[in-house]
Amino acid sequence: MEPVLEKLGEAVEFGKVDKNSPYPPNLKGQDGADELAKEALDSGVKPTDVLTGALVPAMDRVGQKFSENKIFVPQMLMSAKAMGAAMAHLKPFFQSGDVKTKGTFIIGTVKGDLHDIGKNLVAMMVEGGGWSIVDLGVDVNEDAFNQALAENPGAVVGLSALLTTTMANMEEIVRKVKEAHPGTKVLVGGAPLNDDFRAKIGADFYSPDPRGAVEYLKDLAA
């Protein structure tokens, strides 16, 4: 592997955003994801190779360590931020169509619910898995999901809920999304959910963490 891709993968895995970033302390003063992604592209590495050779595997490792409780939310947020810094350099290539994404993932926290930290993590990890993200934010109702689906046919939908009261709103959203866009896959997650609840509301998949979401989408795209 190109040395610059190896360094970039490490920067993302350990959350080194850019040269000025003080975190992590052992990489102080060294280039971060921002500089390394730019260097890779400037030196002629293809954008797809930057994504699939460095960023996606790095986020895979991050997701795995998070699932195994080897790292925690702050470290994952720093990795996601580093990923974002690198992705900013790749965005123009995605937008021009030079790099194909695996598909579009529409995500939102369901109506009545303002919690967005977990939802944002899932969105960032899925983006790291090579998907385009349409993030509808918080307090999102079925009409907004259906509108986004109309604009992005074939997209997969992700619903997040953190409150026992708002998880109940997922059922109506799943039903209305599937009525308006038959065949749409709906993935659900959030602390109060479990797979029994997922089955009861007719969603397709439940994941307790971002990694499970990434793995599910990887299987769908295969």
Q: Cβ closer to ligand B1M: 99 or 110?
A: 110
- Site for ligand B1M, residues 124 to 163, rule: CB under 6 A: 158-160, 162-163
Q: Contact between 203 and ligand B1M (CB under 6 A)?
A: no
Length of the chain: 222
Q: Contact between 195 and ligand B1M (CB under 6 A)?
A: no
Structure tokens that stand for 3 in this block: 């040395």
DSSP state of 46: -
Q: How far apart are CA 96 and CA 178, in angstroms?
A: 31
**Of the ranges 56-64, 90-98, 142-150, 181-189, which one interacts with ligand B1M (CB under 6 A)?**
181-189
Q: Cβ closer to ligand B1M: 15 or 47?
A: 15
Report DSSP letters for 130-159, one per residue. T-EEEE--SSB-HHHHHHHHHHSTT-EEEE
What minimum distance in Å lies between the beta carbon of 66 and ligand B1M? 7
Q: Contact between 187 and ligand B1M (CB under 6 A)?
A: yes
Q: How far apart are CA 158 and CA 73, in angstroms?
A: 20
Q: Contact between 115 and ligand B1M (CB under 6 A)?
A: yes
Q: How far apart are CA 210 and CA 197, in angstroms?
A: 18
The residue behind tokens 């580093």 is: 82
What minimum distance in Å lies between the beta carbon of 43 and ligand B1M? 35
